[in-house]
Amino acid sequence: MRTRRQRAADAAIEVIAEQGMRGLTHRAVDARAGLPPGSTSSCFRTRLALLDGVLKRMLELDEASLVQLPADAWSSREQVTATLVGLLEHWLGPARARTRARMELYLDAAGSTLLRTELDTASERFLRLAADGMRAVGVPDAGNAARMLVAQLDGVLFDALARSSPAADGGAWLRYAAETIMRGAPPTDHERERGRG
């Protein structure tokens, strides 16, 4: 069962996704969450505290979905492609509001050092996971490969959210995007050896 704080943070994510940052008020969150007036304010005294709560909740939800990845998620290039398709489908399906809110937060964070720091901390966690995965597959320079992977995934997500991308075509476009991203990753030592033989 979600706490009142979690309900408020979840509702704030939905408000940001639907109305942008300008629509985010304590009152709007109360209404969206179906909470009595003043409830969100009692959980998050200021707008900055509310944004911090949103970021923490998003991180909590993201980490919960990432721990559900199959054990072999990073076992081969093909498996990484399948994992990326699953993540993209999740982020553009059940977690679409959270994905849209994240994009809104990134755009808004340019003017807020504190918000930028919080977002960077959350991004670093995901980059480390991606680097560990790229390393497990055997991709050299895993740190830079992970950074490129995340940037490309963000591009696919932004495209799907910003316009009517063919993301609802049964996943074919998302599969194509994931395959293209993985084809662009540097070859592993094993792949280079096979290419010579």
CATH number at residue 40: 1.10.10
Does 185 map to a domain? yes
What would the pLDDT profile of 70-86 be if each residue is shown by its tens digit?
Answer: 889 999 999 999 999 99
CA distances in angstroms from 130 to 55, 106, 182, listed in the order given? 20, 19, 12
- Over residues 62-76, mean pLDDT: 88
Whether residue 19 sits in one domain with residue 74: no
What would the pLDDT profile of 146-193 be if each residue is shown by its tens digit?
Answer: 999 999 999 999 999 987 655 556 688 899 999 999 999 888 777 777
* Backbone torsion region of residue 34, taken as left when φ is above 0, otherwise alpha when ψ lies between -120 and 50, otherwise beta: left
- How long a stretch of residues is the chain? 197
- Which residue segment(s) compose the domain that 36 sits in? 1-54
Does 61 map to a domain? no
Whether residue 147 sits in one domain with residue 98: yes
Whether residue 182 sits in one domain with residue 97: yes
Position 120 scores a pLDDT of 87
Q: What is the C-alpha separation between 136 and 149, in angstroms, rounded?
A: 14
Whether residue 80 sits in one domain with residue 41: no
